[in-house]
Amino acid sequence: MTSVAPVILLAAEKESAEVTDWAARVGWVVGLGLFVALVYWLMREGWKWRGTLQGDLPELPAAPDEPGPAKLSMSGRYHGSTTAGQWLDRIVAHGLGTRSRVELTLTDAGLDVVRPGAADFFVPVAALREARLDKGIAGKVLTEGGLLVVTWAHGDKLIDSGFRSDHAAEHNEWVDTLNDMINKTETEGAR
């Protein structure tokens, strides 16, 4: 019986000290959740403020009823628009800052940008200024030449819009065709 007594005494003792202070843990989790919510809210307010500052940007043009036959078309991603030459100055007014899928169609009338789930817009051929391959726009960085950037005039502002095709080999054809159209339009406008 003497050997049973130490076993009973061992079973009656605490195995370990209390490890979890639930009140402190819940307090930290709630505090962290509130901090994350505050940061998210501040980011959203900053986005809305940027849109307010860019409120002088005119409404985006809609595609004409008869734009003509398509010269080129492309499916891919729209990565956003920025002030021309400033690849980090994202334009958020009129939904231009919203990344989305895109269907681009180039016609003699201009560039039709159709974005499911976001605002569509149309760039008249007279507003097109330049097309080039670049590596980044509005916080999105890709390999060199991985992004088709189209510069266009809207109101008194020059805008760079970035697109990436599902088939990157199409980019060069788009740059050549767009720049040929722009040069042809400028030449005809000079006459």
| Per-domain boundaries in the chain | 72-190
Work out the average pLDDT over 52-80. Answer: 86
Q: Tell me how many degrees the CA angle 67-91-77 measures, rounded to the nearest 5.
A: 55
Alpha carbon of 128 to those of 9, 150, 183: distances in Å? 88, 8, 10
Residue 68 confidence class, pLDDT cut points 50, 70, 90? confident
Residue 74 confidence class, pLDDT cut points 50, 70, 90? very high
- As a residue count, the chain comes to 191
- Bridge partner list, 102: 76
Tokens (6 digits) for 39: 């940061």
What gap in Å lies between CA 51 and CA 54, rounded to an integer?
5
Tokens (6 digits) for 153: 């005039």
Phi, psi of 160 (to 5 degrees): -105, 125
Q: E strands along 7-135, which residues?
A: 72-83, 100-106, 110-114, 121-124, 128-134
What is the assigned CATH class of domain 72-190?
Answer: mainly beta
b/e for 71-103, b at 16 or more Cβ within 10 A?
Answer: eeebebbbbbbbebeebeebbbbbbbbeebebe
State the pLDDT at residue 185. Answer: 77
Q: Tell me how many degrees the CA angle 122-124-129 measures, rounded to the nearest 5.
A: 110
- Average pLDDT over the chain reads 85
Work out the average pLDDT over 47-56. Answer: 76
Work out the average pLDDT over 85-109. Answer: 88
Residues near 36 by Cβ (< 8 Å), separated by ≥ 6?
none
pTM: 0.72
State the pLDDT at residue 6. Answer: 65
Work out the average pLDDT over 60-83. Answer: 89
Q: Which residue has 């009129």 as its token pair?
A: 94
